[in-house]
């Protein structure tokens, strides 16, 4: 009997695959959840005091134009808190949107005037003790040149300076071009602001001058920068503001010059001579600033004066301080500089009087109020002149002949009479005086019969007014005009009045008369040419005589 073969149990392949796949999918889901949990950073939990400290650090670091304490709203502070507590947010931007301060964890989509940013590494958690070492921050303004300078100088340039894999010749040429570009870009940017600022290369600042002087390629690059400095300084050495602003830059400059002196650079001697002159000018500028500080507060008080009557109470103190600077300052004691101080004082007094006078009152018909304001300003200028004369007299008694200053004080009440320009200016002036006398005579006649203006029983007033109008019409500047040239000069002298509504029609009519006069003269010239065409000198042939 044949041996029975044990039969295998049938397996449902679909069931088996379904079971295995479901189990594998479950394992995959669990593994995915574990990976996500491992990758998801745990949000930091800060103590309230530490969180307030971190927010305060960011608020104090933020540098925006016209930022005030009251600008920090609860919404802006909450934006900072959200960024600190969310490690996934890499950047925080603080800026003004209109008049409202914003703090968001993103880049603003609309243009802003300036922006302070804070950045961190992914999933980094700040601590109050090490915040200033860990945070990366900066400020962008609306100036493209300024942002470009900062980005190149502080981000890209140090990276290229630290490269060691390039050939020396390639790196030296590339870095030299970077220094040249940054020096010229810095010079151009600050010149647009009215300043002169030296570009200080950061390459080699971290090295001692012994190590830096051993690098010949670095020395060559620094020599190129010094040559550009020399060009800049020569062009603005007389500028006191430039000299004073460079005082804080002398330390890094000395480091670079020390490197070049060690290597016996041929470019350093001329620059050292200019540096010595800069040091002298810095001392002079520092001394001048110290002495000018004594008049800062009195001048600030004078600037806040509203009533011209109060100006005279502050002037003696300011003039005495001017004398103190004149007598004690070793550099600011020149006649030209002290004269400029008095001119500035005179101009400030005039500005205060100008602000005090309200011409709207005069134009609105409040003539008495306007005249009172004018009188106050005139009295103020007179008192200023009297105080100045007394100070001059007292000073001259102590030191005769030492006070010879042009203060720029003029008698405001006495204004020189305007004069007409051109060769016929005297004639126009005489004509204007004649017109003025004729007008006053006609006005006097009207004034004599003014009692009949409202007298309805006396009809002669209309005749008097008609006579006055006739006289005014007779006042004519074109009466003495003999030819086109004189007429054009007369029109030019009256051009300023041509825009007046009442005189516009008259000016157009006179212009038309000048054109007609010009046309008549052209026709007369044409007639003369035609009449003389058949005439010629007797000693010449016919056609030759006509040509002549």
Gap between the Cα atoms of 381 and 347, Å rounded: 11
Helix (H/G/I), strand (E/B), else coil: 23: helix
pTM: 0.40
Both tokens of 17, joined, read 């695959």
- End-to-end Cα separation, the chain, in angstroms: 161
Q: Which residues contact 384 (CB under 8 A, 6 or more apart)?
A: 311, 312, 315, 346, 349, 409
At 466 the pLDDT is 79
Cα 148 to Cα 186: distance, rounded to the nearest angstrom: 10
506, 515 in Cβ contact below 8 A? no
Taking residue 166's Cβ as centre, other Cβ atoms within 10 Å add up to 13
Residue 14: per-residue pLDDT: 45
Pairing of strands 114-119, 136-141: antiparallel
- CB-CB contact of 240 with 288 (8 Å): yes
Instruction: Decide: 442 and 469 in contact? Cβ < 8 Å.
Output: no
Residue 406 tokens read as 């042009």
pLDDT tens digits along 487-517:
787 777 677 666 777 677 777 888 888 888 8
**DSSP 8-state class, residue 310:** G
Alpha helices in 40-137 (DSSP H): 48-61, 74-85, 131-134
Return per-residue pLDDT of the chain as tens, 548 residues.
444 545 444 444 444 444 456 777 777 877 776 666 555 556 788 888 889 999 999 999 998 888 888 899 999 999 999 999 888 888 999 999 888 999 999 888 888 888 999 988 888 888 888 888 888 888 888 777 777 888 888 878 888 888 888 888 888 889 889 889 998 888 888 888 877 788 888 887 777 777 877 777 888 888 888 888 877 777 766 554 444 444 444 556 666 666 666 666 666 666 667 777 777 877 888 888 888 888 889 888 988 888 888 888 998 999 889 888 888 888 888 888 888 888 889 889 988 888 888 877 777 778 888 888 888 888 888 898 888 888 888 877 777 666 766 544 444 445 566 676 666 677 777 877 877 888 888 888 888 877 777 766 777 777 887 777 777 665 555 666 677 887 787 777 677 666 777 677 777 888 888 888 888 888 888 887 777 666 666 676 766 666 66
DSSP 3: P
Q: What is the pLDDT of residue 55?
A: 92
Task: Mention every residue, 6+ apart, whose C-beta is less than 8 A from residue 431.
Answer: 477, 480
Q: List the strands of the sheet with 100-104, edge to edge.
A: 100-104, 91-97, 114-119, 136-141
């Amino acid at each position: 009997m044949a041996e029975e073969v044990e039969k295998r149990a049938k397996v449902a392949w679909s069931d088996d695959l379904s079971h295995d796949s479901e189990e594998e999918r479950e394992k995959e889901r669990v593994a995915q959840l574990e990976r996500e949990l491992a990758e998801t950073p745990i949000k930091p939990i800060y103590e309230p005091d530490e969180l307030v400290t971190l927010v305060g650090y960011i608020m104090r670091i933020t540098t925006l134009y016209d930022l005030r304490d009251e600008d920090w709203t609860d919404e802006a502070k909450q934006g900072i808190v959200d960024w600190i507590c969310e490690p996934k947010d890499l950047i925080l931007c603080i800026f003004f949107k209109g008049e409202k301060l914003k703090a968001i964890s993103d880049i603003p989509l609309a243009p802003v005037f300036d922006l302070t940013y804070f950045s961190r590494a992914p999933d980094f958690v700040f601590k109050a003790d090490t915040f200033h070492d860990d945070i990366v921050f900066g400020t962008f303004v609306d100036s493209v040149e300024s942002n470009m300078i900062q980005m190149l100088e502080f981000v890209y340039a140090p990276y290229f300076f630290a490269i060691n894999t390039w050939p020396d010749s390639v790196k030296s040429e590339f870095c030299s071009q970077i220094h040249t570009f940054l020096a010229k870009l810095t010079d151009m940017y600050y010149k647009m602001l009215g300043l002169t600022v030296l570009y200080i290369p950061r390459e080699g600042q971290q090295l001692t001058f012994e190590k830096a002087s051993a690098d010949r390629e670095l020395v060559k690059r620094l020599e190129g920068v010094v040559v550009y400095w020399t060009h800049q300084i020569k062009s603005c050495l007389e500028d006191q503001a430039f000299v004073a602003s460079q005082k804080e830059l002398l330390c890094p400059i000395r480091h670079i010059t020390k490197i070049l002196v060690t290597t016996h650079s041929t470019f350093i001697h001329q620059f050292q001579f200019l540096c010595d002159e800069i040091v002298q000018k810095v001392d002079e500028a520092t001394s001048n600033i110290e002495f000018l500080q004594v008049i800062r507060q009195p001048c600030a008080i004078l600037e806040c004066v509203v009533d011209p009557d109060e100006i005279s109470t502050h002037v003696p103190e300011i003039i005495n301080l001017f004398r103190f600077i004149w007598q004690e300052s070793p550099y600011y004691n020149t006649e030209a500089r002290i004269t400029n101080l008095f001119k500035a004082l005179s101009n400030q007094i005039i500005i205060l009087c100008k602000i005090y006078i309200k011409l709207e009152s005069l134009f609105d018909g409040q003539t008495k109020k306007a005249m009172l304001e004018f009188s106050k300003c005139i009295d103020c200028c007179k008192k200023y002149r009297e105080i100045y004369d007394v100070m001059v007299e007292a000073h001259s008694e102590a030191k005769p002949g030492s006070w010879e200053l042009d203060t720029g004080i003029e008698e405001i009440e006495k204004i020189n009479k305007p004069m007409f320009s051109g060769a016929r200016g005297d004639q126009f002036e005489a004509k204007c005086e004649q017109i003025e006398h004729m007008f006053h005579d006609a006005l006097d006649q009207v004034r004599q019969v003014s009692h009949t203006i409202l007298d309805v029983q006396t009809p002669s007033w209309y005749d008097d007014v008609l006579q006055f109008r006739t006289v005014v019409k007779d006042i004519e500047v074109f009466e003495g005009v003999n030819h086109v040239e004189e007429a054009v000069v007369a029109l030019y002298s009256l051009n300023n009045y041509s825009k007046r509504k009442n005189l516009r029609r008259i000016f157009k009519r006179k212009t038309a008369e000048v054109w007609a006069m010009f046309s008549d003269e052209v026709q007369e010239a044409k007639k003369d040419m035609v009449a003389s065409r058949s005439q010629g000198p007797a000693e010449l042939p016919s056609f030759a005589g006509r040509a002549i």
